[in-house]
Amino acid sequence: MPRVRETCGGHHPLVENDTQAFEPVGPGGPPPPAGPPPRALADDVWPWLALLGVLAVAGLLVWLFVLALPIACIAWTVTQEEVFHELHQYAERQVECAQQWWKRKFFYLLTCHYCFSHYVAVAFIALTGYRLLSMGRMGYVIAFFALVWVANIYMSLYAWLRQQYKTQKFEAKAVEHKVKTKIEPPRIEIPPAA
């Protein structure tokens, strides 16, 4: 076997002192190494990659539930609350009286919190660029329907809580009235005979 010095023609001290010879390899390849096989890099990295994937999906879900809150808030406020009462009344009149079908449809979205949440979700996706489970256009579509669904769950929960509050308030007033009438019975005055 030729030495490195002879093949490279170098006069460097490290090259001159190199005495390693190359061994020929047979047709079957090099002999297998003795001992256990070396650990693959994937064995060390895979658990961390899996954890990063789980954290990425968890982050997307946190964004989903957080981004649905302002969507629900805006949709509910515009369509149900007293702040936009005049707009709401005008929209209801247009839904009933407008001649063109597209006007009726347009103004209906201002009276229906479910319908309006679709438009608000589109606006928020355009503002934030939020995508869910896919980095392409399909991510926008999935995010759109998921945001509308979660926002409507929030609005339904809010409507239920609001109804429970009103019911409890009404029941409390009824009990208060009942207690008041037991303590102070109504006075009946008999008019003098004529």
Separation of first and last alpha carbons in the chain: 145
Show the tokens assigned to 44.
């060390």
Show the tokens assigned to 181.
């009438």
Single out the residue of 155, 16, 145 nearest to residue 76, CA to CA. Answer: 155
Long-range contacts, stretch 155-164, CB < 8 angstroms, 24+ apart: 155/72, 155/75, 155/76, 155/113, 155/114, 155/117, 158/72, 158/76
Can you give the residue ranges of every domain in the chain? 56-170
For residues 67 and 127, the answer to whether their CB atoms sit within 8 Å is no
pLDDT tens per residue, range 81-136: 778 778 888 888 888 888 888 888 888 887 778 888 889 999 999 999 888 887 88
pLDDT tens per residue, range 55-88: 777 888 888 899 999 999 998 888 887 787 788 8
pLDDT tens per residue, range 152-180: 999 889 888 888 888 888 787 877 777 77
